[in-house]
Amino acid sequence: MACKLVILFFFVNLLMQIPKVRATVPAIVVFGDSTVDPGNNNQVSTVLKSNFEPYGRDYYGGQPTGRFSNGRIATDFISEALRIKPAIPAYLDPKYDIEDFATGVSFASAGTGYDNATSDVLSVIPFWKELEYYKEYQNKLRKHLGKDEANQRFSESLHLISIGTNDFLENYYIFPTRSSEYSVDEYQSFLIGIASNFIRELYKLGARKVVIGGLPPMGCLPLERTTNMFFGSDCIDEYNDVAKDFNKKLQGAVTELKQELGGIHLVMSSPYDKLMEMIRNPSHFGFEDAETACCGTGFFEMSYLCDNMNPFTCSDANKYVFWDAFHPTEKANAILADYVVKTTLAEFQ
């Protein structure tokens, strides 16, 4: 009899847990740059777009969506892994409405950064504007679901932030303004201050589950290797060191914020090591090339330079870590997402 009671208790407890697991993350809300922009820049007056072929050639229906990849991006795979939906729509895409956004939405804009000066370079959506769109989205969702249910949704949703590379490669190391104002160390602290304040604002708006991404080994992006051509097209160690230093500081900020903001579930996800692993040992992941990109010559093409008129684009993107000179292929995105889901996001499931 006692044994039957134990078994009964086990199954009752298991049944009670199932809806909790499924409801742990009802939606994914995304902020950031081209690594997580599914097409918001399509609606922006900027030269930084990717809503044309061959971008998206391996996406559903072979359609370019504005994602800077041959297919899906990492946040799409994360959403699918969490059993929400296979792709996260862009907030500014007129094809979608609040019903679609209720389970996931991205406010990200390719080319943007923490620093407002970074978004000015290519006239894209500044980071602060992404937060304004989020507030607008909250009002729409409250009307759609009702205030209480919507507020509950905000607290349970996973808020993902992926941004920062452009602040260095598109801004600090290109234009003299910031580099004359700040040392690299000071600029890192300046950006992390912006990141911290952004998370505080999300917290005030009801977000309780937040993941912020660190920087990748940006000195190994094909475009940066090309600028280092006279030195054998090796990775630029200085840029990689900056990324590693930034990530350490960001982790420190995350630790402080967890102590400051009661009840927040905040973690940092770093793509650095996994992407570097793919770059150093591509064959282990089934890749043949981690130095050049699939699109065009693979050395410098991105956005409009990567179009169907370019005769050099590869036939099989799965052989490459990078799709264009700045962004990973769908296959690489899937590997990165799988790593994040099994490590950083394991505690959210």
- Average pLDDT (66-94) is 98
Q: Is residue 3 part of a domain?
A: no
Q: Where are the beta strands (DSSP E) in 33-123?
A: 104-106
pLDDT digits (tens, 9 = 90+) for 223-258: 999 998 777 789 999 999 999 999 999 999 999 999
Model confidence at 40: pLDDT above 60:
yes
Residue 242: give the domain boundaries. Answer: 25-271+328-347
Q: What is the pTM of this model?
A: 0.92
pLDDT digits (tens, 9 = 90+) for 185-217: 999 999 999 999 999 999 999 999 999 999 999
Q: Return d(Cα 267, Cα 151) in angstroms, integer.
A: 21
pLDDT digits (tens, 9 = 90+) for 147-181: 999 999 999 999 999 999 999 999 999 999 999 99
How much is the pLDDT for 21? Answer: 33
Say which of 58, 115, 167, 324 is annotated catalytic.
Answer: 324
Q: List the one residue out of 81, 90, 88 whose CA is nearest residue 24.
A: 81
Q: Return d(Cα 163, Cα 214) in angstroms, integer.
A: 8
Reply yes or no on whether 167 is catalytic. Answer: no
Q: Is residue 231 part of a domain?
A: yes
CA distances from 130 to 85, 208, 212, 248, 298 (A): 22, 18, 15, 25, 31
Q: Is residue 306 part of a domain?
A: no
pLDDT band of residue 17 (cuts 50, 70, 90) is very low
Orientation of helix 127-145 relative to helix 147-156, angle to 10°: 140
Reply yes or no on whether 324 is catalytic. Answer: yes
Count of structural domains within the chain: 1
The DSSP code for 65 is -
Say which of 34, 69, 157, 269 is annotated catalytic.
Answer: 34
H or E element, residue 238: helix 237-260
Say which of 33, 76, 270, 327 is annotated catalytic.
Answer: 327
Q: Is residue 172 part of a domain?
A: yes
How much is the pLDDT for 1? Answer: 45
Q: Is residue 258 part of a domain?
A: yes
Q: Return d(Cα 170, Cα 260) in angstroms, integer.
A: 32
**Could you tell me the end-to-end alpha-carbon distance of the chain, in angstroms, rounded to an integer?**
34
Q: Is residue 312 part of a domain?
A: no
How much is the pLDDT for 87? Answer: 98
CATH number for position 193:
3.40.50.1110
Reply yes or no on whether 327 is catalytic. Answer: yes
Q: List the one residue out of 159, 234, 239, 220 whose CA is nearest residue 195.
A: 159
